[in-house]
């Protein structure tokens, strides 16, 4: 491509002296130079140039025509071009100059990562701010997603058909309205009810002990209740050992323990516990219950038949009735439950289902979400400022590099792009850190409550993309500064 000429002068020996061109007077030297050297193209050269330009214009016209013809006739354009006379060298060169050449993609990446690669600690530190923001974002989205996934998994196991009946309150006096004793029997009569489990509470101060020598203070958070009906059918409560009360055991002092209660009392099947001044035989122990009935893990259930011989029905009011409807019939059952439980005062009955529970949880989650989103936004903002700061410093430090690149032929846009992309890379790294940390936070949350781990899939690309966008925004001003730096001032710095 270079049309070179050999050097004009060759030197014989290094002892040669310089001689002024014509005159010794400095002023006239210049005159001498201009007199001696052609300052302009000679007329012949000029004519040649004009001829060349004309020929080029004609060649270009011919080319355009030929291409158009080829396109019309469906001939390959490349072959058509080869057949045409070539434009002169000078014009191809000026064409080459006009062409806006782009860097190879690998070079775009290499130049954009040059800064972070040579100062990794700084890049990492400024990425952390963004990282925290994305962490918060992932947590905010991951925790509710995990909750939902957990609930869905539980619904599968536990049944979407569990309804809970609780004593209500009088609307005016706020007095508790007890559930009538007849309720369990009535509920069992509703046709689409598959199973029901009635839980009664006992007078305050009814505790369970390992033996009769322990004081009242050592009850260890164990609740004593009376359980009647079908806990397996209603709550999906599975017995780890032994059996639930049957006709034979119902009328004897027998108990079934929740998993936690059995652990705390350190008793097994066939052993006895001390409750209400008498010994009760353990005939069954539950597995840990599904999550929404986990409070019963620390309960001791007395055989209802024997309990009735010790307590009056006023002393053991109904605390709740767990109802499991036939699949798909839950709404129907729900609509008639209140009137069935208390025909005299249906408004005095509280009926709730798993979906209600989910709703209240969602409410709690919304508060948490707003808080975390706010935190995330602040972290992103601070992170963005951090990146902007890093980039401003980088642009100042690398003035020499910027000037050099301009001298090497970089366009202002290429310099700007290099720094914008560098900021984007820092943001991206922060985003990836954020995804990792956020996922870990959600994982810890789910591991703690034996929940199902879930993160919305779209977060995985969106998090880093958002971080990169913040990086770009933060890098815009410093990059513009870098691009606008005149190469001469950039190169003057030491």
Partner 1 sequence: MNTTPPPSTAQIALRHVNKIYPGSPPLHVLKDVSVTIHKGEFVAVVGPSGSGKTTMLSIMGTLDQPTSGEVWVDGVNAAEISEVERSSLRSDVIGFVFQQFFLLPSLTAVENVAEGMIYQRIPRAERRSRAFAALEKVGLSHRAGHRPGELSGGEQQRVAIARAIAGDPHVLFADEPTGALDQTTGHMIVDYLRGIADTGTTVIVITHDAGLAAGFDRKISVLDGEIVRDQRRRQPGSAPSPAPARLQPLGVAR
- Scanning residues 103 to 142, which ones bind partner 1 (CB under 8 A)? 103-104, 106-107, 111, 114, 117-118
Q: In terms of residues, how long is the chain?
A: 494
Binding mask 413-432 for partner 1 (x = CB under 8 A): -x------------------
Residue number with CB closer to partner 1 (12 or 157): 12
Which position among 336, 357, 404, 452 is part of the footprint of partner 1 (CB under 8 A)?
A: 404
Nearest distance in Å: CB 23, partner 1? 10
Which of the stretches 123-131, 263-271, 324-332, 403-411 binds partner 1 when contact is defined by CB under 8 A?
403-411
Q: Which is nearer to partner 1, 98 or 266 (CB)?
A: 98
C-beta separation of 176 from 167 below 8 A: yes
Determine contact, residues 100/412, Cβ cutoff 8 Å: no
Min. distance of Cβ 422 from partner 1 in angstroms? 13
Q: In this chain, which of 395, 401, 419, 466 binds partner 1, going by CB under 8 A? A: 401
475: nearest Cα among 483, 465, 487, 485: 483
Nearer to partner 1, 46 or 152 (CB): 46
Interacting span for partner 1 (CB under 8 A) from 30-38, 200-208, 258-266, 349-357: 30-38
The residue among 101 and 189 lying less far from partner 1, judged by its C-beta, is 101
Footprint of partner 1 on residues 44-63 (CB under 8 A)? 44-46, 49
User: Which CB, 116 or 258, lies closer to partner 1?
Assistant: 116
Backbone angles phi, psi at 445, to 5 degrees: -60, -45
Least distance (Å) between residue 44 CB and partner 1: 5
Which range of residues in 188-196, 310-318, 341-349, 404-412 is near partner 1 by CB under 8 A? 404-412
Closest distance of CB 16 from partner 1, Å: 5
For 54-111, give the secondary structure using H, E and C: HHHHHHHHHHHHHHHHHHHHCCCHHHHHHHCCCCCHHHHHHHHHHCCCCCCHHHHHHH
User: Which of 21, 460 has the CB closer to partner 1?
Assistant: 21
Q: Where are the alpha helices (DSSP H) in 244-351?
A: 247-250, 259-265, 304-310, 330-341
Task: For residue 197, give the nearest of 187, 207, 209 by alpha carbon.
Answer: 187
CB of 33 to partner 1, least distance (A): 5
Interface residue with partner 1 among 76, 268, 328, 400 (CB under 8 A) is 400
Q: CB neighbours of 361 closer than 8 A, spacing ≥ 6?
A: 147
Of positions 180, 411, 445, 476, contacts partner 1 by CB under 8 A: 411
Looking at beta carbons only, is 49 or 68 nearer to partner 1?
Answer: 49
Q: Which is nearer to partner 1, 33 or 436 (CB)?
A: 33
Among 128, 337, 410, 442, binds partner 1 (CB under 8 A): 410
First to last CA, the chain: 35
Beta carbons of 262 and 232 less than 8 angstroms apart:
no
Cα torsion angle, 39, 45, 46, 52, sign: negative
Stretch that binds partner 1, among 72-80, 429-437, 461-469, 484-492 (CB under 8 A): 484-492
**Binding partner 1 by CB under 8 A: which of 148, 310, 412, 453?**
412
The whole-angstrom separation of Cα 169 and Cα 132 is 47
Secondary structure of residue 50 in the 3-state scheme: helix
* Cα distances (Å, whole numbers) of residue 382 to 129, 163, 279, 377: 6, 48, 65, 9
The label of the residue with tokens 């052609």 reads 38
Segment 9 to 28, residues that bind partner 1, using CB under 8 A: 9, 11-14, 16-22, 26-27
Q: Which of residues 67-106 bind partner 1 (CB under 8 A)?
A: 90, 94, 96-104, 106
- Per-residue CA distances from 286 to 244, 257, 268 (Å): 9, 6, 11
Tell the smallest beta-carbon distance from residue 39 to partner 1 (Å).
6
CA angle 136, 141, 147 (to 5 degrees): 120
Rule CB under 8 A: say whether 8 interacts with partner 1. yes
Q: How far is the CB of 21 from partner 1 (least distance, A)?
A: 6
Q: Read off the tokens for 412.
A: 């202002």
- Rounded CA-CA distance 422/148 in Å is 38
Residue 396, interface with partner 1 (CB under 8 A)?
A: no
Number of residues that bind partner 1 (CB under 8 A): 73
Residue of 64, 407, 444, 447 interacting with partner 1 (CB under 8 A): 407
d(CA 375, CA 444): 19
In whole angstroms, the minimum distance from the beta carbon of 2 to partner 1 comes to 6
Which residue in 29, 124, 160, 188 binds partner 1 (CB under 8 A)?
29
Taking CA atoms, 348 is separated from 10, 183, 279, 343, in Å, by 115, 13, 37, 10
Residues in contact with partner 1, shown as a per-residue x/- string from 222 to 261 under the rule CB under 8 A: ----------------------------------------
Q: How many CB atoms are closer than 10 A to CB 104? A: 8
User: CA 200, CA 185: separation in Å to the nearest integer?
Assistant: 14
Cα 370 → chain centroid: 15
Q: Which two tokens stand for residue 135?
A: 């962490």
Q: What are phi and psi of 101, to 5 degrees?
A: -85, 140
- Based on the shown chain and the rule CB under 8 A, indicate whether residue 488 belongs to the binding site for partner 1: yes
Query: According to CB under 8 A, which residues from 136 to 175 bind partner 1?
Result: none
């Amino acid at each position: 491509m270079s049309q070179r000429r050999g050097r004009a002068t060759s030197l014989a020996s290094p002892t040669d002296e310089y001689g002024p061109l014509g005159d010794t007077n400095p002023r006239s030297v210049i005159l001498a130079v201009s007199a001696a050297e052609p300052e302009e193209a000679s007329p012949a050269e000029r004519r040649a140039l004009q001829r060349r330009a004309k020929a080029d214009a004609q060649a270009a016209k011919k080319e355009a025509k030929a291409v158009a013809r080829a396109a019309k006739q469906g001939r390959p354009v490349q072959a058509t071009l080869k057949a045409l006379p070539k434009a002169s060298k000078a014009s191809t060169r000026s064409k080459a100059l006009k062409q806006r050449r782009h860097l190879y993609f690998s070079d775009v990446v290499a130049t954009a990562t040059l800064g972070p690669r040579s100062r990794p600690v700084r890049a990492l530190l400024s990425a952390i701010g963004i990282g925290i923001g994305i962490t918060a974002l992932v947590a905010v989205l991951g925790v509710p997603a995990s909750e939902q996934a957990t609930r869905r998994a539980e619904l599968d196991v536990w049944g979407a058909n569990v309804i809970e009946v609780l004593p209500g309150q009088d609307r005016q006096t706020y007095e508790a309205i007890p559930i009538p004793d007849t309720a369990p029997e009535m509920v069992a009569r509703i046709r689409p009810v598959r199973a029901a489990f009635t839980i009664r509470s006992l007078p305050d101060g009814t505790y369970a002990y390992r033996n009769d020598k322990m004081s009242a203070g050592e009850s260890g958070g164990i609740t004593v209740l009376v359980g009647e009906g079908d806990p397996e059918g209603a709550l999906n409560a599975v017995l780890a050992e032994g059996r639930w009360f049957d006709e034979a055991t119902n009328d004897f002092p027998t108990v079934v323990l929740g998993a936690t209660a059995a652990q705390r009392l350190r008793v097994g099947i066939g052993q006895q516990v001390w409750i209400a001044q008498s010994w009760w035989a353990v005939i069954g122990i539950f597995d840990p219950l599904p999550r929404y009935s986990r409070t019963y893990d620390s309960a001791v259930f007395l055989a209802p038949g024997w309990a009735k011989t010790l307590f009056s029905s006023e002393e053991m009011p109904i605390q709740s009735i767990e109802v499991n409807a036939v699949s798909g019939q839950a709404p129907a059952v729900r609509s008639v439950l209140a009137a069935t439980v208390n025909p005299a005062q249906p408004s005095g009955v509280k009926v709730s289902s798993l979906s209600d529970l989910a709703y209240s949880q969602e409410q709690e989650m919304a508060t948490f979400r707003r808080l975390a989103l706010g935190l995330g936004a602040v972290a992103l903002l601070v992170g963005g400022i951090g990146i902007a700061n890093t980039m401003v410093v980088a642009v100042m430090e690398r003035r020499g590099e910027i000037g050099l690149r301009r001298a090497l032929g970089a366009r202002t846009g290429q310099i700007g792009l290099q720094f914008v992309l560098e900021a984007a890379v820092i943001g991206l790294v922060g985003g990836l850190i954020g995804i990792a940390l956020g996922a870990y936070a959600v994982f810890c949350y789910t591991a703690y409550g034996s929940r199902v781990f879930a993160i919305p899939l779209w977060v995985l690309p969106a998090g880093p993309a958002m971080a990169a966008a913040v990086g770009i925004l933060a890098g815009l001003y410093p990059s513009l500064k870098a691009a606008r730096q005149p190469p001469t001032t950039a190169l003057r710095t030491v």
